[in-house]
Amino acid sequence: MDGSHWTGVKAVAEEMGRRGHTVIVVIPEISMRLGPGKHYITKTFPVSYELDFLNKLLTEHVRLVTSPGRSLLDSVTSAAGNLLKMFNLMASTTESLFKNKELIEFLREQNFDAVLTDPALPMGAILAYNLSVPAVYMLRGMPCGLDATATACPDPPSYVPRFYTRNSDRMSFRERVVNMLVSMIEPLVCKVMYWSFEEVTSNFLQRDVSLTDILRTGAVWLMRYDFILEFPRPLMPNMQLIGGINCEIRNPLKK
């Protein structure tokens, strides 16, 4: 949950701690932006990689995503390949946490009221499921429409554009066909991207549970976008828009 995934979660963690709640943040020893805060307690665990490797991987991902003039097929395959490397790294991080028996037992003894996490990297979701604690998800979105699948939310490809297609909600016939084809292969993409997490999950829970079933138990989905800047799409009752939560608070306008 590093990088931009951490930005919104940190703001909420700080505010909850400032209001008197006991907030414990669990982070790996190696990260880009994760770290201690003024109003929350930090618990760390060791991982098997160095910061240079993490920075190199994320730099390559940004380069692939922002490179102009690339075909849809090239963009999707390149980004998917690099994302797979990142997800395998995060699965390794998840495994390092779950093998830390002392830390897991400490967390179990805290009797948390809730776990706040970004489910795109499902370490927190799996942990909340294991601790039988309500999970509150804060996210910008999930690859391959997994959020819609987990919440049973309608996600019609007729006007909800898919990742990397660069389509809007008003598509030509050709764009709708491409959007439909991408939506059809999304389940396979999800399976490939998250298969390492499912293996780690099975070892941790000592039984086979799909990632979709775990995400389905989420109590609230806090979506970090707003329809002022996003294309319209269906939402479920437990999905709340909180776009702008990371915007700097300005002084009120003068009368």
Answer yes or no: is pLDDT of 82 > 80.
Answer: no
Q: Is residue 208 part of a domain?
A: yes
Q: Give the confidence band of 140 by pLDDT, cuts at 50, 70, 90.
A: confident
Range of the domain at 107: 4-241
Q: Is residue 61 part of a domain?
A: yes
Three-state DSSP class for residue 107:
helix
Dihedral, CA of residue 240, residue 246, residue 247 and residue 248, to nearest 10: 140
Answer yes or no: is pLDDT of 134 > 90.
Answer: yes
CATH number where 88 lies: 3.40.50
Q: 123-131 and 173-205 helices cross at what angle (nearest 10)?
A: 50
Q: Give the confidence band of 2 by pLDDT, cuts at 50, 70, 90.
A: low
Q: Is residue 251 part of a domain?
A: no
Predicted local distance difference test score (pLDDT) of residue 16: 93
* Helix or strand holding residue 95 (H, E): helix 72-98
Predicted local distance difference test score (pLDDT) of residue 70: 65
Q: Structurally, how many domains does the chain consist of? A: 1
Q: Is residue 255 part of a domain?
A: no
**CA angle, residues 2, 148, 33, in degrees to nearest 5:** 5
Predicted local distance difference test score (pLDDT) of residue 137: 96
Contact 9, 138 (CB under 8 A): yes
9-57 residue pLDDT tens: 888 999 999 999 999 999 999 887 788 889 999 999 999 888 888 888 7
Predicted local distance difference test score (pLDDT) of residue 180: 92
Bridging pattern class, strands 115-117 and 41-45? unpaired
Predicted local distance difference test score (pLDDT) of residue 89: 87
Q: Which residue has the tokens 């269906």?
A: 234
Average pLDDT of the residues of the chain? 87
Q: Is residue 78 part of a domain?
A: yes
pTM across the whole model = 0.86
